[in-house]
């Protein structure tokens, strides 16, 4: 049989994990258990879900199952109170024994609303020493550790006492309840100092002379503790109040009921007043029945007919004999008519269920079953061919059916609201996910603060930045590569290269302005001013050069080369356009940075004198290129950025666990390999010039699309003179 459980239990388990261990723990737990995030209160779920959550919780929290289940039991009691069952639980009994004995009745009532509920059953045996044996029956194996958690929490909260529970071994077959698991607990209860003793009391306790003497002493002590009146005498009302309070406490302990000598009630009146009662003897032979039960089960009118021929016991699941019934005498019994014994005229009607109490009459050797029809709604009333008038006036079943009809309607409405709420929650979560995707795309196109202003419908004013550093780069021989390759190869090459560059913009906190073809443009100090703008862009440029070597030329299979140019100066920045708006930079600084790139050298980082001044004494290795002719600018003394002496390549590329980039001259480094490479490049350029007597042509390392205007360093036609050699020597001295 597949067992089911209501979402209320799983919701309680979720609430426990979140409250005790946090939201992240619940997310991890439900992921491991492969269950949904939300459970509907009135929805039915397979027991496997709950058991899977418990098993994964034990594994993840590294706690034994008995600890987790006991913790759940304690929390389940608190959760039920928070859910509105506080008063209902508190009024079940005046002590712990009465509370446990009425749990089955509570489950029976809740079954009116939770029809598929398969609740456990409890039975209490009182011992002479004041302890009790608690029998627990359940169709779910392995969950009995929940019981100590619940009982201990109930005793502490409701009865101000402490209990200790020990599991005893007892054979399951002796009970024949039909339940899969039967566990017996030995329960010891100890008062925590409350005024009322909640230990089980013996019935019909006789008050001895010793008890009376003890009570008198307590009364005198209580009276003596009262404050004195001004005249030195106790107040008369204080004395009366003391006696009344003492009498109240004494009556609670020494009450003895009074019974009449004979029953002052006619047999006919009794059968009419209790229309659904049954009296049967030890052999289950029917001796007496109510009038209405005879109407719906006519066979009961035959005297000495066996009760088990017409009814079967639904709850508790015990063998239908007098011994089993007496053992569970404090439980609520549910009987159901057997279909084969129902008259043919009533075959189309649903089977009649009776719910009530068994009372053993020792003097008669008979059992009386005081019961009423078990009905959940007016619909079930009609299905069984009953009417409200068939139920006795004093029977609260009449009111219960009408009230539960309204409650079922409210539950259905609540269930619909929960489903709609869950649908809205899922839609809201999906909307939030899509919103984040949109924002990510928007922030990739525009600076965050600019994008936020546009989202709010505000106009973004252009801003002037007094100083920033701009970088341009392009791919050497890109025109030739495009002419010899398929378009998809070009796209793949640029995508690979730009993806690496984009990652570096986040590493060095520079802003990517745009890409056009093979051209890549970034800026430091815009849109958020930063004193270290030049260092950030310089480190980014060094990273670009390293990353470009990891991208291959589709034609030759060799690493591609890039030219990089940097310039520092003021710019004006603002958003341009309504459709596909872009954050653009304007000013002569942009033009000069572009010239530094176009007049640069493959695989080198070309600096303007202004950028050199910003990077001077900042831990960078910079080589003076000399004075060159820059288009539109005239003669300019420019420089090559070789390396950062303070940090490693791994740090610049943010590989592994390297240190973060440092933009101040606060570290030492040698960088001999890069320094030597720069010396070789410088010497190689001059040696080639000397060999050609100043008539330099494009070398193998130069691209075929370089011109004298684009590459003034390699294409400089100025004759090689001794002054140049002196210049080389001076540069070597600075490097060495």
| pLDDT, tens only, 270-320 | 999 999 999 999 999 999 999 999 888 888 888 788 999 899 998 887 889
Q: Are 558 and 552 in contact (CB under 8 A)?
A: yes
Q: What is the pLDDT of residue 473?
A: 94
Beta bridge partners of 135: 123, 184
Contacts of 37 (CB under 8 A, 6+ apart): 27, 30
For strand 562-576 and strand 604-607, is the pairing parallel, antiparallel, or unpaired? parallel
Q: Coil, helix or strand for 127? A: coil
Of 723, 629, 601, 619, give the one whose Cα is nearest residue 671.
619
CA 307 to chain centre: 54
Cα dist from 590 to 74, 118, 636, whole Å: 70, 77, 16
Q: What is the pLDDT of residue 219?
A: 53
Torsion from C-alpha of 606, 612, 618, 621, nearest 10 degrees: 40
Sign of the Cα torsion 526, 531, 536, 541 reads positive
Q: What is the pLDDT of residue 195?
A: 43
Q: What is the pLDDT of residue 238?
A: 56
Residue 497 — very low, low, confident or very high, per pLDDT cuts 50/70/90? very high
Instruction: Inform me whether the pLDDT recorded for 691 exceeds 80.
Output: no
* DSSP H or E stretch at residue 563: strand 562-576
Per-residue model confidence as pLDDT tens digits over 323-380: 989 888 888 899 998 875 655 445 445 688 899 999 999 999 999 999 999 887 788 8
Taking the CB of residue 280, how many other CB atoms lie within 10 A of it?
Answer: 23
Rounded mean pLDDT of 57-72?
89
State yes or no: cis peptide before 316, omega within 30 of 0: yes
Per-residue model confidence as pLDDT tens digits over 84-96: 888 888 888 888 8
Instruction: Inform me whether the pLDDT recorded for 134 exceeds 50.
Output: yes
- Least confident window among 114-128, 143-157, 221-235: 221-235
Instruction: Inform me whether the pLDDT recorded for 523 exceeds 90.
Output: yes
Rounded mean pLDDT of 527-535?
91
Instruction: Inform me whether the pLDDT recorded for 204 exceeds 60.
Output: no
Most confidently modeled range among 43-52, 222-231, 573-582, 587-596 = 587-596
Most confidently modeled range among 104-113, 171-180, 416-425 = 416-425
Q: What is the pLDDT of residue 300?
A: 85
Rounded mean pLDDT of 132-137?
87
Instruction: Inform me whether the pLDDT recorded for 182 exceeds 90.
Output: no
Q: Are 484 and 705 in contact (CB under 8 A)?
A: no
Residue 412 — very low, low, confident or very high, per pLDDT cuts 50/70/90? confident
The more confident residue out of 336 and 723 is: 336
What pTM was computed for the model? Answer: 0.49
The more confident residue out of 649 and 719 is: 649
Q: What is the pLDDT of residue 685?
A: 37
Q: Assign 3-class secondary structure to 381-442.
A: HHHCCCCHHHCCCCCCHHHHHHHHHHHHHHHHHHHHHHHHHHHHHHHHHHHHHHHHHHHHHH
- Whose tokens are 């909640």? That residue is 198
Rounded mean pLDDT of 204-209?
48
Q: Are 165 and 186 in contact (CB under 8 A)?
A: yes
Residue 641 DSSP label: E
The Cα–Cα gap between 101 and 85 comes to: 18
Sign of the Cα torsion 190, 194, 199, 204 reads positive
Sequence-ordered alpha helix ranges (H) in 456-585 = 478-484, 487-508, 533-548
Residue 227 corresponds to which tokens in the numbers above?
């404050």
Residue 299 DSSP label: G
In order of their start, the domains of the chain are 271-394 (3.30.450.260), 459-653 (3.30.70.1230)
The more confident residue out of 218 and 327 is: 327
Q: What is the pLDDT of residue 213?
A: 58
Sign of the Cα torsion 191, 192, 193, 195 reads negative
State the chain's mean pLDDT as an integer: 78
Cα dist from 502 to 509, 524, 532, 575, whole Å: 11, 14, 19, 21
Q: Strand 278-281: give its sheet, edge to edge.
A: 286-289, 278-281, 366-373, 353-361, 333-337, 311-315
Rounded mean pLDDT of 476-494?
91
Q: What is the pLDDT of residue 726?
A: 41
Q: What is the pLDDT of residue 40?
A: 78
Residue 450 corresponds to which tokens in the numbers above?
């600019």
Most confidently modeled range among 3-17, 181-195, 487-501, 688-702 = 487-501
The Cα–Cα gap between 447 and 442 comes to: 8
């Amino acid at each position: 049989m597949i067992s089911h459980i209501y979402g209320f239990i799983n919701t309680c388990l979720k609430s426990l994990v979140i409250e005790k261990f946090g939201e992240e723990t619940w997310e991890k737990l439900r992921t491991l258990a492969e269950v949904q995030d939300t459970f509907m209160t009135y929805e039915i779920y397979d027991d496997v879900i709950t058991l899977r959550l418990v098993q994964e919780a034990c594994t993840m929290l590294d706690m034994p199952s008995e600890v987790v289940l006991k913790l759940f039991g304690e929390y389940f009691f608190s959760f039920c109170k928070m859910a509105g069952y506080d008063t209902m639980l508190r009024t079940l009994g005046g002590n712990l024994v009465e509370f446990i004995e009425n749990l089955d009745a509570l489950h029976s009532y809740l079954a009116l609303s939770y029809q598929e509920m398969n609740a456990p059953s409890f039975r209490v045996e009182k011992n002479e020493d004041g302890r009790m044996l608690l029998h627990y029956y359940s169709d779910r194996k392995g969950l009995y550790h929940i019981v100590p958690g619940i009982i201990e929490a109930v005793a502490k909260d409701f009865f101000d006492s402490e209990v200790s529970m020990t599991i005893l071994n007892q054979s399951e077959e002796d009970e024949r309840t039909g339940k899969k698991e039967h566990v017996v607990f030995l329960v010891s209860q100890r008062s925590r100092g409350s005024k009322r003793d909640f230990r089980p009391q013996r019935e019909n306790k006789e008050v001895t002379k010793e008890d009376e003497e003890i009570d008198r002493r307590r009364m005198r002590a209580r009276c003596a503790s009262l404050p004195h009146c001004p005249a030195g005498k106790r107040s008369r009302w204080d004395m009366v109040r003391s006696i009344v309070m003492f009498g109240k406490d004494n009556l609670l302990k020494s009450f003895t009921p009074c019974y009449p000598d004979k029953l002052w009630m006619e047999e006919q009146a009794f059968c009419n007043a209790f229309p659904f009662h049954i009296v049967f003897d030890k052999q289950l032979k029917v001796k007496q029945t109510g009038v209405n039960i005879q109407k719906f089960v006519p066979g009961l009118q035959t005297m000495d007919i066996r009760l088990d021929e017409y009814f079967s016991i639904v709850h508790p699941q015990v063998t239908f004999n007098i011994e089993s019934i007496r053992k569970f005498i404090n439980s609520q019994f549910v009987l159901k008519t057997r279909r084969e014994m129902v008259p043919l005229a009533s075959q189309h009607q649903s089977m009649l269920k009776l719910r009530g109490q068994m009372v053993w009459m020792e003097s008669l050797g008979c059992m009386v079953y005081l019961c009423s029809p078990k009905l959940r709604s007016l619909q079930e009333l009609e299905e069984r061919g009953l009417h409200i008038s068939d139920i006795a006036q004093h029977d609260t079943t009449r009111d219960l059916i009408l009230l539960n009809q309204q409650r079922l309607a409210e539950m259905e409405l609540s269930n619909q609201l929960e489903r709609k709420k869950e649908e809205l929650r899922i839609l809201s979560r999906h909307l939030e996910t899509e919103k984040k995707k949109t924002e990510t795309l928007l922030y990739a196109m525009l600076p965050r603060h600019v994008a936020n202003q546009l989202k709010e419908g505000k106009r973004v004013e252009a801003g002037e930045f007094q100083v920033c550093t701009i970088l341009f780069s392009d791919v050497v021989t890109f025109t030739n590569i495009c002419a010899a390759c398929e378009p998809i190869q070009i796209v793949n090459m640029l995508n690979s290269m730009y993806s690496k560059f984009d990652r570096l913009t986040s590493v060095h906190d520079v802003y990517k302005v745009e890409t056009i073809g093979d051209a890549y443009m970034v800026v430091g100090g815009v849109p958020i001013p930063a004193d270290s703008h030049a260092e950030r862009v310089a480190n980014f440029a060094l990273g670009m050069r390293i990353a470009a070597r990891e991208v291959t030329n589709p034609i030759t299979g060799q690493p591609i080369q890039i030219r990089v140019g940097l310039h520092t100066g003021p710019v004006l920045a603002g958003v341009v356009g309504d459709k596909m708006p872009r954050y653009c930079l304007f000013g002569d600084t942009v033009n000069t940075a572009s010239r530094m790139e176009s007049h640069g050298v493959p695989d080198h980082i070309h600096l303007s004198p202004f950028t050199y001044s910003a990077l001077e004494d900042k831990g960078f290795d910079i080589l003076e290129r000399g004075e060159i002719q820059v288009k539109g600018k005239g003669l300019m003394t420019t420089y090559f950025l070789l390396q950062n002496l303070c940090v490693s390549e791994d740090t610049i590329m943010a590989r592994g666990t390297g240190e973060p980039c440092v933009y101040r001259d606060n570290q030492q480094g040698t960088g001999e390999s890069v320094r030597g490479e720069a010396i070789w490049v410088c010497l190689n350029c001059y040696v080639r010039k000397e060999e050609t007597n100043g008539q330099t042509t494009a070398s193998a390392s130069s691209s075929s699309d370089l011109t004298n205007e684009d590459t003034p360093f390699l294409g400089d036609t100025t004759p090689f003179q001794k002054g140049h050699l002196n210049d080389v020597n001076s540069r070597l001295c600075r490097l060495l």
